[in-house]
Amino acid sequence: MFKEFAQFNTWEEKYKHLIKMGQSLSPIEDQLKTEENLVKGCQSQVWIFGKLNEEQKVVYHADSDALIVRGVVSLLLKVFSGGSPDEIIQSDLEFIKEIGFDRQLSPSRANGLYSMIKQIKYYAQAYKALLASQK
């Protein structure tokens, strides 16, 4: 993920890339835009939904009503979607520092970013428990 953003020299270019990523994100169906899937702690409305596929990988779907936030959630889906519950739970967040989000996002956007990650990991924990109960 770092390499994708390393090609840009300024934060304006990185933000433009984030917006472009968000524009390519497929919107989720309205029936998934529920209170349960709404990320708490974001200024914008963000919905994240995770589903366990046949290979026991968690596949995420998400949407937001704000362009940059939609780009951020698109980035998170690239990082986490398709991983096993354990991979997602144990993943480090070093990519946030590598890209520079820890220094460039406003406090409210950074809070929203970590709230999105928390919800992503929540789904992974739930699916890990489900898989363990099936053994």
The tens digit of pLDDT for each residue in 85-116 reads 999 999 988 888 888 887 888 888 888 999 99
Q: How far apart are CA 11 and CA 7, in angstroms?
A: 11
Q: How far apart are CA 112 and CA 90, in angstroms?
A: 20
Type of residue numbered 5: F
Handedness of CA 118, 93, 125, 29 (dihedral sign): positive
| Number of structural domains the chain divides into | 1
Structure tokens at 26: 């497929």
Domain that includes residue 113, residue range: 2-133
Comparison of pLDDT for 106 and 122, the residue scoring more: 122
Structure tokens at 65: 């009503």
Structural element, H or E, at residue 52: strand 46-52
19 and 74 Cβ atoms separated by less than 8 Å: no
pLDDT score for 1 = 60
Which CATH number does the domain housing residue 6 bear?
A: 3.90.1010.10
pTM for the full predicted model: 0.90
Query: 135 falls in which pLDDT band (50, 70, 90)?
Result: confident
Cite the active site residues.
42
Q: How far apart are CA 124 and CA 118, in angstroms?
A: 10
Percent of the chain past pLDDT 70, that is, above it, reads 99
Residue 45 has pLDDT above 70, yes or no: yes
